[in-house]
Amino acid sequence: MHLRERSLNEVLLSRLQQGAEEPLLTWHERVITVSEAVANVASLAQYLRKEIGVAPGSRVAVLALNRPETLLLLFAAAHIGGIVVLLNTRYSPAEVAAVLEDASPCALFYDTATQALAEAGAAQLRSSFHMVPVDDLALQPALSVQEAAQELQHPAGDLATPVLMLYTSGTTGALKGVPLTQGNLLANVGQIGAAITPPAKAEALVVTPLFHAALIPSALVPLSHGLPLVVCERFSPAEAIELLATRSIAWTVMVPTMIQACLDLLGGDRLPSGDHPRFIYYGASPAPRALIEEAMRGLGAQLIQSYGLTEATQAVTVLSPHDHRVGLADAPHLLRSAGRPLPATELAVWSGDGTPLPSGQVGEIVVRGPQVMGGYWNRPAETAQVLVNGWLRTGDAGFLDEHGYLYVTDRIKDVIISGGENVFSPRVEDVVRSHAAVREVAVVGLRHAVWGETVHAVVVLRPGFTETPELAADIIQHCRNHLAGFEIPRSIEFASELPKSATGKILKRLLRERAPETIAIACDLRVPSGPADRRERR
């Protein structure tokens, strides 16, 4: 795949040629122009090298809410061959300590909101490193714009140089470092941009965490296409709605729960249409049809779904706005798809022994392309398990249709095996979610002496509905009308909210790992049944 840029900083330098005094980034009331960003990045690179001791291959950790310094540190460290390690602000102190011990950074940058967490995590370690409040950086460039631009034209590394390390989200319980090279980042930026080109002369709204792989579509893609960023410290539906209504936002990244929160706040009203198309790039899970329709109407948005994983930088497939429109018009199955592969990306589906499967057959999704990582940090055994001859084993189950669209049926570890039948939780969740009372749902397997596992649904109700055994029974009856007997939830549990990662992914591991006596089941049909009603009762 041909890359337009040969280093991350070429993204900044190309913007300098387009308009040095144009805004690059807005954060609260602070506006950073392109020339200021270039000068700051070059000065930060000098600071990291001289004051912190960053050399090629050194790690620099950042634990902060969304703010300009995160991106500027990424560009600065990349210039001198350093690796920025982004930490999840929702980690516990023990998790912060585990990541710091694994990554061994020269410095940990933190902000006021994360200071206590940073100090608590660092206190658990014997190793020492610089602890630097990002506010102390002050961002007073020591170089002129001309000197900075000249400096940034000569980076220490190349496309194969790691510049960013993200730790897997922990949905499986493991924290593994994923080093990503300049080539990985630039390839995925180019792939996403080639599939969906954001409009020029507009802005991009950043509401997803910058410590997550979503920083590629939320920040790097729009920057590479000339869109200034409007960065929110954290997601707030009210702030997002205000900015979408008052600024020329043409691009933003959200997960379905964020979109739903914005729509709930609108309460059926519509945002005013702007001068540009408004694209919402979403991931983490497919969106229900009703949410897609409401987002297109209420937010005036064209929707783009992405499927990907940190080990593949961010994106592997996209379901385009055109695909969404076709799905709504006369091909509803498309709305359950994750789309088609990005340019220069190969997708396949393998059986358990690595045999490629034909279209329509469910197996493990594997991917190969320039965005795929070279391996986990300090984990050769785990790397060997997931990388096979350049193919990345995703751990996701799914299939490809005859037109090359990918359908993700489940995480392989989340497949429920009940009485020898495979139950794919997203299918059950789609049906449960279609009940008028259900706002959110997560389906997991509960251990069962007879069937091995039974299907259990954890449900968050819409406002106005009451948690009663009768409603739980009605939800099960609704499922009975749409699902095979072995797919029907045998138990319903009501919850005020579902446990989620910082990017909105439901943490099913936390639901499965609870002690049985802590689960408040509203309706339980998990009784052993005889051969005569085997299909219905399991």
Q: Specify the pLDDT at position 359.
A: 94
- Per-residue pLDDT of 464-478, as tens digits, reads 999 999 999 999 999
- Decide if pLDDT at 462 tops 80: yes
- Residue 469: alpha-carbon gap to chain centroid: 35
Q: Specify the pLDDT at position 450.
A: 72
Strand order in the sheet with 249-254: 30-33, 23-27, 229-231, 203-206, 249-254, 278-282, 301-307, 317-319, 340-341
Please state which of the ranges 197-201, 237-241, 387-391 shows the lowest mean pLDDT.
197-201
Q: Specify the pLDDT at position 4.
A: 63
Q: Specify the pLDDT at position 536.
A: 38
Confidence class for position 11, pLDDT limits 50, 70, 90: confident
> CA-CA distance, 119 to 96, in Å (whole number)?
10
- Tokens (6 digits) for 459: 């449900």
Q: Specify the pLDDT at position 257.
A: 83
Average pLDDT over residues 320-341: 94
- Tokens (6 digits) for 370: 């320039």
> CA-CA distance, 244 to 259, in Å (whole number)?
12
- Decide if pLDDT at 443 tops 80: yes
- Tokens (6 digits) for 516: 């049985």
Q: What is the average pLDDT score of the chain?
A: 89
Q: Specify the pLDDT at position 481.
A: 87
Domains for the chain: give ranges and CATH numbers: 9-398 (3.40.50.12780), 417-537 (3.30.300.30)
Average pLDDT over residues 209-228: 94
Please state which of the ranges 86-90, 225-229, 398-402, 426-430 shows the lowest mean pLDDT.
426-430
- Decide if pLDDT at 147 tops 80: no
Confidence class for position 537, pLDDT limits 50, 70, 90: very low
Please state which of the ranges 66-80, 240-254, 403-417, 501-515 shows the lowest mean pLDDT.
501-515
Which stretches within 441-485 are classed as H helix? 469-480
Q: Are 320 and 196 in contact (CB under 8 A)?
A: yes
- Per-residue pLDDT of 243-281, as tens digits, reads 999 999 999 999 888 998 999 999 989 998 877 889 999
Please state which of the ranges 131-140, 298-307, 381-390, 486-495 shows the lowest mean pLDDT.
131-140
- Decide if pLDDT at 533 tops 50: no
Average pLDDT over residues 302-325: 95
- Decide if pLDDT at 90 tops 60: yes
Average pLDDT over residues 476-491: 89
Average pLDDT over residues 237-241: 97
- Of 241 and 6, the structure prediction assigns the larger pLDDT to 241
